[in-house]
Amino acid sequence: MIDIQLIRDEEDLVKTGVVNKGGDVELVDDIKKLDKEKRRLQVEIEAFQANLNAISKEISKQFGQKKLDLIKEASQISAEIEKHRPKLLEMESDLDSLLKKVPNLPLSDVIKGGSDKDNKVWYKKGKLPEFSFTPKDHVDLAKQLDLIDFEAAARASGSRFAYLKGQLTILEISLMRYGMDFLISKGFVPIIPPVLMSGQVMEAAGYLINNEDEIYKTQDDLYLAGTSEQPLLALHAGQIIPEENLPLRYMGISSCFRREAGSYGKDVRGILRMHQFQKLEMFVFTTPDKAEEDHKHLLALAEELMEKLEIPYQVINICSGDLNFSAAKKWDIEAWMAGQGQYRETHSLSNCTDFQARSLNIRYKRTDGKIDYLATLNGTAFSERPLISILENNQQADGSILIPKVLVPYTGFKVIK
RNA sequence: GGAGACGUGGCAGAGUGGUCGAUUGCGUCGGUUUCGAAAACCGAUAGGGGCUAACGCCCCUCAGAGGUUCGAAUCCUCUCGUCUCCGCCA
């Protein structure tokens, strides 16, 4: 949630940010107006309340007729308050709903743009693999090596599901385990989070405003996590963390669930876009002034993981219009997938500043005693998508697939055949 | 799923209708003492919101939401959570 003080003090700045993110400035005007009215009423009611409190105190000291008179007077004031209170509550609730619709503002160095078409490739790393034959895509490779059963998954669960089988299952677990060990060595605390989340958490994470139909909801009003970013965010909900304990770095490993509504016909082939997948996610709570530094740190870690796997990739600067609701800045990593002959998104790293933390009241106590909201950052360590790159980039003429060297200690085999 | 107990400040733990936003202890911070430290002693120490140029003043919050009352941490209702016992289960 955005800071209402920012709308009061820096209206233009907020409006610019909202526009750049593809939002509606009217929202800001509505908030400003309602906020003013609300405060006027609040002052009025609080004056009554102060009077009532004073009289109530006096009542406890008085006796006889004087007491009865005061009680009568207090009743009248109380009635007066009751008359106005519903209006105030309504205004507060309306104001809150409006505020929740305001997206996080892009940082000043984010490229302005309307959609993903305006995203810019920042730089590329790694040498693209060359083949003496026409490389196959991971679906054909998987079929040939009996690594994925899409047909069975379709019968069991519908489209966009898969059974990973045999050596691919081992490779997938190895990838996660490798990522875990790497991040543990960088000071991240491993977490297996709950993957069913309350609406409050989903909303605070920023997934119920524009992305509601992306998320599975259960009959108990719990939502299936689309990423462990959501439960990790909630890990410190309502807490005040001493500054000396920061930053807090976590990695969540979980299944992730996405409805992929509106993506019909897009990326239907293979395991690129699934309703369910495993993901190892990095999540950082830090002070707002360190957020950009920590964001760079997350990118560096994600890149190092890809470099160790020897997967060529490019880093994308996400433009303002393509930012998530909660993100102030975002970078994607797109990995080379030789069978498809293109880079595809495998990682996404966002700086959410204090936007998510404000909604869940996650704060820190500064060394000078002041209390302020934390910044939150999230980024992919590994999802299942890098498996596609491994399969497609490392395929051999004989149809076998070489395991990246760093994973061999985990898989126990050097080649899938 | 059944039965019972309980949810108070960073923690422990008082408080059952009237200066209680809350006694006390621990912790934390500052000071005295000390060459320095410990101990001792003194003092400070919840969060949120509003008004004001400022000094300050006011309002709200004792799991959450309602209700009773002039007045609620305290009484009533519902919800959520924790613990114990039983049942079930990986």
pLDDT of A245 reads: 85
Q: Which CATH class is domain A116-416?
A: alpha beta
Q: Are A356 and A341 a contacting pair, CB within 8 Å? A: no
Question: In percent, how much of chain A has pLDDT > 70?
Answer: 100
Query: Does residue A368 surpass a pLDDT of 80?
Result: no
Backbone angles phi, psi at A171, to 5 degrees: -65, -40
Task: Name the pTM for this structure.
Answer: 0.93
Indicate the helix (H) or strand (E) that contains A46: helix A26-59
Identify the three-state secondary structure at position A287: coil
**Residues 225-264 of chain A in contact with strand B via CB under 7 angstroms:** 240
Residue A57 Cβ under 7 A from any strand B atom:
yes
pLDDT of A209 reads: 81
> CB within 8 A of A276, min separation 6: which ones?
A161, A255, A256, A257, A258
Alpha-helical runs (H) found in A129-165: 138-145, 150-157
Burial class for A285, CB neighbours closer than 10 Å (0-12, 13-18, 19+):
buried
Which two structure tokens, joined as six digits, stand for A382? 């590994």
CA distances from A262 to A161, A227, A265, A382 (A): 17, 19, 9, 25
Domain with CATH 1.10.287.40 in chain A: 4-100
The amino acid that residue A202 corresponds to is M
- In terms of Cα–Cα distance, which of A215, A227, A360, A346 is closest to A285? A360
Q: Kindly report which listed range (A133-142, A233-242, A380-389, A401-410) carries the lowest average pLDDT score.
A: A233-242
Query: Does residue A258 surpass a pLDDT of 90?
Result: yes
Residue A62 Cβ under 7 A from any strand B atom:
no
Which two structure tokens, joined as six digits, stand for A93? 């609730």
Which two structure tokens, joined as six digits, stand for A331? 């970078």
pLDDT tens profile A195-231:
999 888 999 999 988 778 889 988 888 899 999 999 9
* Given the residues A11, A243, A310, A345, the one annotated as active site: A345
Rounded to 10 deg, the angle between the A166-185 and A138-145 helix axes is 120
Residue A281 annotated in active site? no
- In terms of Cα–Cα distance, which of A227, A220, A213, A240 is closest to A363? A240
pLDDT of A322 reads: 95
Domain with CATH 3.30.930.10 in chain A: 116-416
> CB within 8 A of A387, min separation 6: which ones?
A138, A168, A171, A172, A175, A271
pLDDT tens profile A37-47:
999 999 999 99
pLDDT of A410 reads: 97
The C-alpha atoms of residue A244 and residue A224 are separated, in whole angstroms, by: 34
CA distances from A320 to A9, A51, A113, A129, A304 (A): 22, 50, 5, 33, 26
Query: Does residue A308 surpass a pLDDT of 90?
Result: yes
Beta-strand pair A189-191/A248-257: parallel
Give the closest residue to B50 (Cα–C1′). A43
Strand nucleotide closest to residue A52 (CA to C1'):
B70
Per-residue pLDDT band at A251 (split at 50, 70, 90): very high
CA-to-C1' span, A33 to B62 (A) = 35
- Give the neighbor-by-neighbor strand order of the sheet with A371-373: A240-242, A363-365, A371-373
Angle at A128 between CA A124 and CA A132, to 5 degrees: 165
Strand nucleotide closest to residue A89 (CA to C1'):
B60
What CATH homologous superfamily does A4-100 map to?
Answer: Serine-tRNA synthetase, tRNA binding domain (1.10.287.40)
Which two structure tokens, joined as six digits, stand for A370? 């002041």
Sign (positive/negative) of CA torsion A354, A359, A362, A365?
positive
The amino acid that residue A343 corresponds to is Y
Give the closest residue to B69 (Cα–C1′). A75
Per-residue pLDDT band at A304 (split at 50, 70, 90): very high
Identify the three-state secondary structure at position A133: coil
Radius of gyration of chain A (CA): 27
Residue A385 annotated in active site? yes
